[in-house]
């Protein structure tokens, strides 16, 4: 549409300005009431005045619409627009060529996949809050569970709560009752597959059976139908009444379930450490956090255990089965009629469709050395890998109190500069612990309580006794600082101590 408008515009410009009608020829100078060549009218007589009033005025000549300068300007604009149009066409042609090349490259790299295949994995991909759930946990990093494992632990807690309520009032616990209660508590779907996963993780938590003749008080379920019943295993002695499921037992069962989940993740973590170069082995009792490269949220799902299924009852679906079952119960005439009906309704059974074969997973290729490491000696690579493995091993076996001490060590260089500034501004040889902590809390960039600041100062005096000393005088503690010491040297010493304990 835009190209058509440009073409019409150029056609109008080429045709030139519209024709101007010729002006009326002026009358001769001798006629009465007519302007002369100099523009001064000749004096008319008294009779000619009446004729001038009655005569119509001549039409004023129209000015020319386009002058010579405007014609030159129009030609320049016309040429400029033509150049812009030509360049737009060239750019459009280049864009089409680039799109064609990109499509050919995509088809060449994935010849067997359709064009819509790259969009399908995005639809099935889990949301980010599930894929990176372990990275968003607050506090000190520890043995965090994957999102799906934590969701299963919450399902077990809800299921245990519902089962305890029904069991304590001696009511038969069925899966239908538990399912409705858990879904009301969690606002999530709860299926038999989740019950199978709970049985896999904690096999001694419940006993499952298929029973019937259980009143359901529902229209959709008959009393004669089989239902999955759940009974908590509490270790009751023989000959005694089933004990109550108390709150302490619920808490204990929940802790056992969480420990079993952590043990499963530890098995996958151990297999991951065995694939590293060099392989690592960490005792399970000393493991306090996962390896930095171990993606916790990609741990495979728990396979559900098999639950008891209702017994298969024989159902008569064809006339031949009815005839074989009731051969001795009907008269010969009825038997002949049933046999004729079986022959008429018999039809060749359709061949069963074979099950689709599982897709073969592409073999994983072993990791190769990147081109950036070519030319580096193998001994140097081994030393770097050993040092990195030692650092990661120390990080995975670090206790929470060691982690807190390391965090304090990382803050000490900046706190030392703040403390020296406080002493310089106060102009006193010694300050009480309360005054120094209050001044430093107000000057430090991050919020910190007075108790935490006091522990930092005590650690600073422990590491640098020649620079900062604590003096106990009656009920107060005084800080004394060596202002002549080199602050850069002190911060470098603190940084070395932090690196040494961090390894």
Q: Sign of the CA dihedral 149, 152, 158, 159?
A: negative
- Which range is least confidently modeled, 161-170, 371-380, 433-442? 371-380
The Cα–Cα gap between 251 and 160 comes to 10
pLDDT of residue 342: 78
Query: Of all helices (H) and strands (E), which one includes residue 74?
Result: helix 68-109
Chain-centroid distance of CA 87 in Å reads 44
Mean of the pLDDT values across residues 480-500?
89
Instruction: List the Cα angle 358/359/360 in 5-degree steps.
Output: 115
Work out the burial of residue 476: count CB atoms within 10 Å of its CB; fewer than 13 is exposed, 13-18 middle, 19 or more buried.
exposed
Inform me whether the pLDDT recorded for 488 exceeds 60: yes
pLDDT of residue 335: 73
Q: What is the pLDDT of residues 386-415, one digit of tens each?
A: 888 877 777 787 777 888 888 889 999 999
Inform me whether the pLDDT recorded for 485 exceeds 70: yes
3-state secondary structure of 41: strand
Q: Could you identify the residue written with the tokens 């619409």? A: 65
The Cα–Cα gap between 500 and 503 comes to 6
The Cα–Cα gap between 120 and 415 comes to 53
The Cα–Cα gap between 147 and 129 comes to 9
Query: Of all helices (H) and strands (E), which one includes residue 227?
Result: strand 227-232
DSSP single-letter state for residue 55 = S
Mean of the pLDDT values across residues 491-495?
90
Asked whether the beta carbons of 442 and 391 are under 8 A apart, the reply is no
210 phi/psi in degrees, rounded to 5? -105, 115
How many CB atoms are closer than 10 A to CB 134? Answer: 22
310 phi/psi in degrees, rounded to 5? -65, 145
pLDDT of residue 323: 62
The Cα–Cα gap between 264 and 148 comes to 13
pLDDT of residue 346: 67
pLDDT of residue 194: 95
DSSP single-letter state for residue 1 = -
- Which range is least confidently modeled, 52-61, 224-233, 270-279? 52-61
Q: What is the pLDDT of residues 269-326, one digit of tens each?
A: 999 999 988 888 888 888 888 888 888 888 999 999 999 988 876 666 676 676 666 6
pLDDT of residue 375: 74
Q: Sign of the CA dihedral 326, 332, 337, 343?
A: positive
The Cα–Cα gap between 270 and 284 comes to 9
3-state secondary structure of 232: strand
- Where would I find the H helices in 355-448? 378-396, 400-426, 433-443
Task: Write the DSSP assignment of 250-304 as a string of letters.
Answer: HHHHHHHHHHHHHHHHHHHHHHHHHTSSS-----TTT--S--TT--GGGPPPPPP
- Which range is least confidently modeled, 247-251, 258-262, 399-403, 469-473? 399-403
Inform me whether the pLDDT recorded for 486 exceeds 70: yes
pLDDT of residue 319: 66
3-state secondary structure of 415: helix
174 bridge partner residues: 229
Within a 13 Å sphere around the CA of 407, how many CA atoms are in the beta-carbon half?
Answer: 13
Structure tokens at 465: 């006794």
The Cα–Cα gap between 134 and 420 comes to 40
Q: Could you identify the residue written with the tokens 């002549």? A: 484
Q: Could you identify the residue written with the tokens 């530890």? A: 266
Inform me whether the pLDDT recorded for 22 exceeds 80: no
Distance linking the first and last C-alpha atoms of the chain: 71
Inform me whether the pLDDT recorded for 19 exceeds 70: no
The pLDDT-based confidence of 63 (bands split at 50, 70, 90) is very low
Chain-centroid distance of CA 124 in Å reads 12
Cα Rg of the chain, angstroms: 47
Alpha carbon separation from 314 to 115, 217, 234, 321, 424 (Å, rounded) = 50, 27, 37, 10, 95
pLDDT of residue 400: 78
pLDDT of residue 200: 95
- Which range is least confidently modeled, 26-30, 133-137, 374-378? 26-30
| Top-confidence residue, 454 or 324 | 454
- Which range is least confidently modeled, 19-23, 113-117, 151-155, 330-334? 113-117
3-state secondary structure of 209: strand
């Amino acid at each position: 549409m835009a190209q058509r408008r440009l073409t019409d515009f150029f056609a109008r410009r080429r045709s030139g300005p519209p024709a101007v009608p010729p002006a009326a020829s002026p009358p001769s100078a001798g006629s009465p009431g007519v302007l002369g060549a100099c523009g001064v009218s000749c004096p008319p007589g008294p009779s000619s005045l009446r004729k001038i009033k009655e005569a119509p005025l001549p039409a004023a000549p129209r000015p020319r619409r386009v002058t010579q300068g405007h014609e030159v300007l129009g030609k320049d604009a016309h040429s400029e627009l033509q150049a812009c149009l030509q360049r737009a066409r060239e750019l459009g042609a280049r864009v089409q060529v680039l799109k064609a090349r990109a499509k050919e490259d995509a088809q060449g790299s994935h010849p067997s996949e359709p064009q819509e295949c790259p969009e399908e994995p995005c639809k099935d991909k889990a949301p980010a809050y599930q894929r990176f759930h372990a990275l968003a946990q607050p506090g000190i990093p520890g043995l965090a569970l994957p999102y799906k494992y934590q969701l299963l632990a919450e399902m077990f807690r809800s299921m245990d709560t519902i089962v305890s309520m029904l069991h304590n009032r001696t009511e038969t616990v069925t899966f239908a009752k538990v399912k409705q209660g858990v879904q009301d508590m969690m606002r999530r779907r709860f299926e038999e597959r989740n019950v199978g996963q709970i049985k896999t993780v904690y096999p001694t938590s419940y006993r499952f059976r298929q029973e019937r003749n259980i009143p359901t008080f529902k229209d959709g379920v008959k009393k004669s139908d089989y239902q999955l019943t759940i009974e908590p295993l509490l270790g009751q002695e023989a000959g005694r009444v089933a004990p109550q499921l108390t709150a302490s037992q619920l808490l204990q069962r929940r802790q056992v379930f969480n420990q079993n989940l952590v043990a499963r993740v530890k098995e996958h973590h151990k297999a991951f450490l065995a694939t590293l170069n060099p392989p690592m082995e960490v005792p399970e009792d000393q493991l306090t956090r996962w390896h930095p490269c171990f993606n916790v949220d990609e741990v495979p799902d728990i396979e559900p255990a098999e639950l008891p299924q209702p017994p298969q009852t024989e159902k008569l679906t064809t006339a031949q089965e009815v005839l074989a079952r009731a051969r001795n119960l009907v008269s010969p005439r009825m038997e002949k009629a049933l046999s004729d009906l079986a022959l008429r309704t018999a039809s060749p059974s359709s061949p069963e469709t074979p099950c689709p074969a599982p897709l073969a997973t592409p073999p994983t290729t072993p990791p190769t050395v990147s081109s950036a490491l070519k030319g580096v000696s193998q001994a140097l690579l081994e030393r770097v890998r050993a040092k990195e493995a030692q650092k990661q091993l120390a990080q995975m076996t670090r206790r929470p109190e060691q982690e807190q001490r390391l965090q304090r060590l990382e803050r000490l260089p900046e706190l030392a500069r703040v403390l020296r500034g406080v002493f310089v501004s106060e102009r006193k040889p010694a300050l009480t612990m309360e005054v120094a902590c209050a001044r430093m809390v107000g000057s430090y960039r991050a919020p910190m309580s007075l108790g935490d600041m006091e522990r930092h100062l005590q650690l600073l005096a422990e590491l640098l006794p020649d620079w900062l000393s604590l003096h106990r005088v009656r009920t107060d503690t005084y800080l004394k600082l060596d202002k002549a010491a080199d602050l850069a040297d002190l911060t470098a010493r603190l940084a070395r101590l932090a690196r040494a304990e961090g390894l």
